[in-house]
Amino acid sequence: MSTNGYVKFSNGLIFQWAKYTRDDPYPFKFPIPFPNACFGVYSGNISNPNGEMNYYVTWQDKTSFQVHVDEDGMDEIRVIAVGY
C-alpha cells in the first residue's frame, strides 16, 4: 500500500487515506475527488515537534479539506476520508 491512496467498493463507498505536510498545497486535496459527497475526514495522527496540539477539520468538500491547528508547527497529518 502507498502512503496516499483509496479503495472504491462496488456499492460506491470510497475510503481514502493520505499523509500531508506543512509544505503541501493548502487546502489539502484528496487523492481522488469524491463523485458525490465526502461524509467525513478523520485524523489518525498529527505530529508536531513541540508536542501536543489541538486541531480539527473546519470544512470539507468533494475534492479537499481544511484543518485548523491551534498553534504553529504542524509537521504532518495523516487522515482517512469516507464518501461516495
DSSP character for 15?
A: E
Residue 29: exposed, middle, or buried by beta-carbon count in 10 A (0-12, 13-18, 19+)? middle
- Check: pTM over 0.85? Answer yes or no: no
CA–CA distance, 59 with 73 (Å, rounded to integer): 21
| Rounded mean pLDDT, 44-70 | 77
Residues in the chain: 84
| Rounded mean pLDDT, 31-49 | 85
| Domains of the chain by start residue, with CATH | 5-83 (2.60.40.3940)
pLDDT given at position 67: 82
CA–CA distance, 11 with 44 (Å, rounded to integer): 25
Q: Is 46 helix (H, G, I), strand (E, B) or coil?
A: strand
Work out the percent of the chain whose per-residue pLDDT is above 90.
Answer: 49
